[in-house]
Amino acid sequence: MAAESAGPGLRERNKQRRQDAVVRAAYRLFAERGYDATTVADIAAAAEVAPRTVAMYFRSKQDIALSRFGEAADELTSALRQRDPGETVPQVLARWLRTDERPADREIKQLSKRLFAANPELSALRAARMTAAISEGAAAVAAQAGLAAGSPGPRIAAVAAAAILIELADTPAGAERDLAIDTAMRFLDAGIAAL
């Protein structure tokens, strides 16, 4: 029993490996062939799983393409909702960006960058996935700036923050990303102060 509490079991690890293989294969194919030209059967073959296995994890190709970003947007929305009293929106964003770094994700981030560069229609869908985070961010900025909820300034700041996050989402860890985060947070702080 002690071994079970030490981490996920074999079944969960195998499931996660298969799901990761599907995402990696899909990202590679979407970047190389294009989203529309890639079928679920192509993804399954490249991931060395059955098409039914792909369907078990993802309802559609779109869900595969946006899976990483959708999860990240949900995590960010949660971080904004659970921020500490007095914690500013840029502080939450900077903390979230820095803790979102997973060293093993360098390859998937590179594939993701290629995927979205090759498929602009998916970039638009990625931005749409930020709706909840933008709403939560706008409310937090309004509270931080002492403005009424629904004021245009906080929403503008939240949309700017979302654009920053989309830009940094696939930037690998390192000095360049750290500098970009610092610069972006100074920009947001100044924008919020101007409200």
- 20-61: pLDDT as tens digits: 999 999 999 999 999 999 999 999 999 999 999 999 999 999
Q: Is it the case that residue 1 has pLDDT exceeding 50?
A: no
| Token pair of 117 as six digits | 């560069």
Which residues have a Cβ under 8 Å from the Cβ of 86 and sit 6 or more positions away?
Answer: none
Return the closest-CA partner of residue 55 out of 24, 9, 18, 109. Answer: 18
Q: Is it the case that residue 94 has pLDDT exceeding 70?
A: yes
pLDDT tens-digit readout, 152-184: 999 999 999 999 988 888 787 789 989 999 999
Outline where the chain has alpha helix (H). 2-5, 10-33, 40-47, 51-57, 61-81, 89-99, 106-118, 120-128, 131-145, 152-168, 175-194
> Could you give the CA distance from residue 92 to residue 88 in angstroms, rounded to a whole number?
6
| Angle at which helices 175-194 and 89-99 cross, to 10° | 160
Quick check: pTM over 0.75?
Answer: yes
